[in-house]
Amino acid sequence: MGLTAIFCASTLLALLISSSTTAQSPPAPFLPPSPAPPHIVNLTDLLSVAGPFSTFLNYLLQTEVIDTFQNQVNNSKQGITIFVPKDSAFAALEKSDLGNLTQNQLRTLMLYHAFPKFYSLSQFKNLSNSNPVSTFAGGQYTLNVTDTSGLIRVVSNWATSKISSSVWSTAPVAVYQIDKVLLPLAIFSTDPPLAPAPAPAPEAKKPSDLSPTQSGIASAPKSSESSTTNGSSYGTSICLFNYLVLVLSGVLMLIM
């Protein structure tokens, strides 16, 4: 009887201890995997491979504006919108237009080609109601944008350019190709002249513009035709003379 009581008490004590341990150690909750860090766009790499933007990229590197833009991409929630002129847009300007600028003016001109906020193409319609729009250059360096049935234009004081393609448009970076360099009045007091158009190719010579030697060769058959005509007239005259001689001979024979 005593051993049975001790056994029952021991079993009950073991069950209580096991239940207490289970209650104190709940299973670990399921945690979803942490999201991957967002992909950061390298602007230098993007502009190097995306299109004919070597002139604009060289100016960004020369003025170190590329560092300002990249810092906006890496450390700002606002993002950035960059308008990138093609190489042909810079080639259309006189070399002196940009060559005579100071380093500070050139830096400001590059900052003038970007908004310190990300704008997708669909947002330009509403953005046009907020003209003028501030650029990275700040102060008086503003731009106007228009959206007419999907045709988006970016208007500066001396140039109206259009967005011809979207190079990159994923937040926080928007890069749009434009067909003209944006020229602010604060840097260019007058409309900068365009580079002269290339000279037209020389016209091909017409058949009538042949040299005298060629003309002489071409007229040679005419002499041959003239000789043939003269020969035919001479032969006809001989035939008529012979016919007359025969007629006269016949008349004389009848008389005799």
Question: Per residue in 197-242, pLDDT tens?
Answer: 555 556 655 555 555 444 444 444 444 444 455 555 555 555 555 6
Number of continuous H segments (helices) and E segments (strands) in the chain:
9, 7
- pLDDT confidence bin for 175, thresholds 50/70/90: very high
Q: Give the pLDDT of residue 146.
A: 97
Dihedral sign for Cα atoms in the order 59, 62, 63, 68: positive
Q: Give the pLDDT of residue 215.
A: 44
Place of tokens 């209650």: 23
CA 252 to chain centre: 105
C-alpha triplet 75, 73, 53: angle, nearest 5° = 155
Q: Give the pLDDT of residue 195.
A: 61
Nearest alpha carbon to residue 98 among 175, 199, 178, 195: 195
Q: Give the pLDDT of residue 191.
A: 78
Report the chain's C-alpha Rg in angstroms: 48
